[in-house]
Amino acid sequence: MVLSANDIHCSYGSSDASIKVLKGASISIKTGEVVAVMGPSGSGKSTLLHALGLLERPCKGKVLICGEDGWGLSSRRRAELRNRKIGFVFQFHHLLEEFTLKENVMMPCLIAGETSEEATQKAESLLERVGIIHRSSHFPSTVSGGERQRAAIARAIIMKPEIVLADEPTGNLDSKTSLEVEKLIMELAEEGNRSFLLATHSHDLAGAVHRKVFLNSGIIKKS
């Protein structure tokens, strides 16, 4: 399994006034598998992705990334694991506004200590692949929502992660653009034999995926 999470509990707030969002969610994802986690707004999809992506520590539960216990590692080792194995497409604040699309896509490579030549070369080839090479030197605020999302996806896969966690990747797009981005995600999964976990409340996006699961009352139900 690329990702395997067991009995994840997450709550917000202090102990006397806490809301339990996840109450024992479990999920496993195989290499190359594209899975949609569905659920209405507020059901905890973003919370789940942040726990699985080693961004926010759950109150309880294990997350294995390629067999490694992500939350059991030191924060430095966890950051390395995240950088090498996990790509993330965020629900909000997709890109850094003060950087061009190319610079945004290069960022994970630079953080990992690659030279700017290497990073540039990889970013350009990915921008080409996702169809926005002509927008490389534009800033996020000056391109369309679909183009921003393509850049966010390119940034998420530039380190060749084993799994990409994408939080409502088509949430703010019109239906035609959503379909195009969805098609791109399915192609990138196949080309790289890479797993994706997509959070979505849209049945349309979930149409093409290999498997759907539902987040309901804090736990995951299979379709």
Ligand X SMILES: Nc1ncnc2c1ncn2[C@@H]1O[C@H](COP(=O)(O)OP(=O)(O)O)[C@@H](O)[C@H]1O
CA distance 104 to 127: 11
Binding mask 74-103 for Mg ion (x = CB under 5 A): -----------------x------------
CA distance 192 to 43: 31
Size of the site for Mg ion (CB under 5 A): 3
CA distance 9 to 60: 5
* DSSP 8-state secondary structure symbol assigned to residue 17: G
Residue 42 found at the interface with ligand X (CB under 6 A): yes
Cβ nearer to ligand X, comparing 45 with 150: 45
Q: How far apart are the first and last CA of the chain?
A: 19
Single out the residue of 46, 104, 149, 195 in contact with Mg ion (rule: CB under 5 A).
46
Angle between helices 145-157 and 101-111 (to 10 degrees): 20
Residue 43 touches which member of Mg ion, ligand X, none, C-beta under 5-8 Å by kind: ligand X
Q: What is 54-74 written as a DSSP string?
A: TSS--SEEEEEETTEEGGGS-
Cβ nearer to Mg ion, comparing 11 with 91: 91
Cβ nearer to Mg ion, comparing 121 with 202: 202
Distances (CA, A) of 151 to 128, 132, 144, 157, 169: 10, 8, 11, 10, 11
**Pair of tokens at residue 190:** 């196949």
Residue 47 found at the interface with Mg ion (CB under 5 A): no
Q: Which residue has the tokens 């035609």?
A: 176
Shortest Cβ 44–Mg ion spacing (Å): 8
Which one of the spans 45-53, 77-85, 100-108, 138-146 is the region binding Mg ion (CB under 5 A)?
Answer: 45-53
Residue 43 found at the interface with ligand X (CB under 6 A): yes
Please list every residue from 7 through 36 that binds ligand X, using CB under 6 A.
12, 21
Residue 47 touches which member of Mg ion, ligand X, none, C-beta under 5-8 Å by kind: ligand X
Residue 41 found at the interface with ligand X (CB under 6 A): yes
Cβ nearer to ligand X, comparing 101 with 164: 164
Please list every residue from 137 through 196 that binds ligand X, using CB under 6 A.
none
Single out the residue of 2, 27, 33, 45 in contact with ligand X (rule: CB under 6 A).
45
Paired strand residues for 198: 36, 166
Distances (CA, A) of 207 to 7, 178, 183: 27, 12, 11
Q: Contact positions toward ligand X, by CB under 6 A?
A: 12, 21, 39, 41-47
Residues that bind Mg ion in the complex, under the rule CB under 5 A: 45-46, 91
